[in-house]
Amino acid sequence: MSNSENSKPGLVCPRCRSATIEVLTNSPVEGVWTIYSCTTCLYAWRSTEPEENTNPEKYPEPFRLKPDDLAKFAVVPTIPQLRVTGEPYQAKK
């Protein structure tokens, strides 16, 4: 699929209200559901979700993001390495 086929014109992200929406995938049975993703805030949702998850006007206010604020957020920490079963945990120094 080309990038133009992957984008969804007119659709707005419920979380950050950006128009940078792409179609991630479609259901194996045509027309049953579609998964969309916002390339600005990385929010993803199915077309079958309730309106509070898909409609920017009904998306819960406490969970909304402003695209300008995204650069100010802390970096997500890396996931630590798994320890080998049976060995005690030793913190890195």
> CB–CB of 13/38 below 8 Å?
yes
* pLDDT value at residue 76: 78
* pLDDT value at residue 13: 96
* pLDDT value at residue 6: 58
Residues of the chain with pLDDT under 70: 1-9, 87-93
* pLDDT value at residue 91: 65
User: Domain-by-domain residue ranges, the chain?
Assistant: 3-72
Rg (CA), the chain: 18
* pLDDT value at residue 8: 59
Q: How many CA atoms, within 13 angstroms, populate the side-chain half-sphere of residue 8?
A: 18
Q: Which residues contact 11 (CB under 8 A, 6 or more apart)?
A: 19, 21, 36
* pLDDT value at residue 74: 83
